Structure 1
Amino acid sequence: MIPRMLEGLDSVAWHEIDHAYGPALDTPGHLRALLSNDPEVVARAVVDLDRTVYEEGGFVCPAATAVLPFLVEVMPVLSSEHRAALLDMIERIADDGENAEQVDRGWHAAWAEAKPKLVARPGTSAGDSRSVGRRHDPSA
């Protein structure tokens, strides 16, 4: 059974979406692992998502766009440590979304929808979310 926060995960054509190492076939597993009761499994999933979804070198890959709504949904149930690590990854992707030459065409719309939810989400403390998007919002 798929947890409600990951509804739609299996509807995504992950084989057609690229991350830093090619098709994002492993990405649904990383997202599911975020909901594990084992903190080590969750920590590994955070590292794996950062390694595959964040493209160092100024490129926002399609997988970043695809995972963002799922990350928004799972964020409230994560420990503050794991939430902070994922928020940091999202912030780096958002920075690249403003400055990179290659940005997935869906990123800006996905980010515009996710950003207010990340800041206002129950379970996301002000300390974790205060900088999300700050560099991308002149009023922040």
Structure 2
Amino acid sequence: MWEGLDEVDWAGLKHNYGSARDVPDLLRRCARRPADEAESAADDLLNLLFHQGGWICPAAPPALPFLLRLVARPDVPCRRTVLDLVAVLADLGPYAAGHADRLLRLTRSADTWTSVRAAHALWSVTGDTAAAVEPLLAAVRPLTEGTYLPAMLPAVRCLTRMGGAADRAAELLRDVPARDERLRFGGGWHSFVTDESIREAVDELLAAS
């Protein structure tokens, strides 16, 4: 997984807080247990490589291939957090587009969260709505039966941003806001806040269609 990692001149690259010489160690820590330490390393990478204002540092392009290798492995403890980082680094544009095939494979993951975030990243990188819509539709389809999973909220929001390309989602979810019952989650009743959040997201999707 780390082939080529030590060949990058990390010390000569910059992240948001200076030299990127600490990036290789953080990448390796993402693959190790305990899980809380892996999550801490992934959070550090997000802070170092991506700025909230949208500026992406020079160390981000060479880090992206290794981040994609991490999310391709189901045994990585912080896989979802790393995938969130990949999604925001999709703004790397032409450089990130070179990894579109790997993102496409991740959209077929059996893990719904991985599939949703990969679809978002793929769409951001390539603008290919056809490839991204299908996994997002698959993720939100259980809403029509009153079942909710956490990955559905970002899926609905991503579909909304796609506009007309996601009209099939509007057709699929048109009756969801009219449901009287609360959405089922984890065998019990879902919390009021999250229930309202997904309903509002669906309303926005329908309004945008």
Q: Is TM > 0.5 for Structure 1 vs Structure 2?
A: yes
Q: Which residue of 1 aligns with 2:3?
A: 7
1:53-132 maps to which residues of 2 (within 5 A)?
53-78=49-74, 82-94=78-90, 97=91, 107-121=92-106, 125=111, 126-132=115-121
The range that moved more, 84-93 or 8-17, is: 84-93
Is 1:35 aligned to residue 31 of structure 2?
yes
Q: What is the CA RMSD across the aligned residues, in angstroms?
A: 2.3
Instruction: Answer whether contact 2:68 2:86 (CA < 8 A) is retained.
Output: no
Indicate the SS of the match to 2:21.
coil
The range that moved more, 70-79 or 8-17, is: 70-79
Shift of 1:132: 1.6
C-alpha change, 1:10 and 1:80, in structure 2 (3 Å) is closer
Shift of 1:68: 0.3
Q: Which residue of 2 aligns with 1:22?
A: 18
| Runs of at least 5 residues in structure 2 that lack an aligned partner in the other structure | 130-209
Indicate the SS of the match to 2:99.
helix
Shift of 1:15: 0.8
1-side partners of 2:15 and 2:2: how far apart? Answer: 19
In percent, how many aligned pairs have the same letter? 27
Shift of 1:124: 7.0
2-side partners of 1:7 and 1:80: how far apart? Answer: 17
Aligned pairs, how many?
125
Deviations 1:31-61 (A, max 9, x none): 0101102111211111110010112212121
Indicate the SS of the match to 1:77.
coil
Compare relative contact order (CA 8 Å, sep 6+) and give the higher one, 1 or 2. Answer: 1
Shift of 1:88: 2.0
1-side partners of 2:27 and 2:82: how far apart? Answer: 11
Q: Which residue of 2 aligns with 1:100?
A: none
Instruction: Answer whether contact 2:71 2:80 (CA < 8 A) is retained.
Output: no
- Amino acid in structure 1 at the alignment position of 2:97: A
- Amino acid in structure 2 at the alignment position of 1:114: H
Is 1:51 aligned to residue 40 of structure 2?
no
Instruction: Answer whether contact 1:35 1:42 (CA < 8 A) is retained.
Output: yes
- Amino acid in structure 2 at the alignment position of 1:39: A
Deviations 1:44-90 (A, max 9, x none): 11111001011221212111101001111121225688323222222
2-side partners of 1:92 and 1:24: how far apart? Answer: 19
| Runs of at least 5 residues in structure 1 that lack an aligned partner in the other structure | 98-106
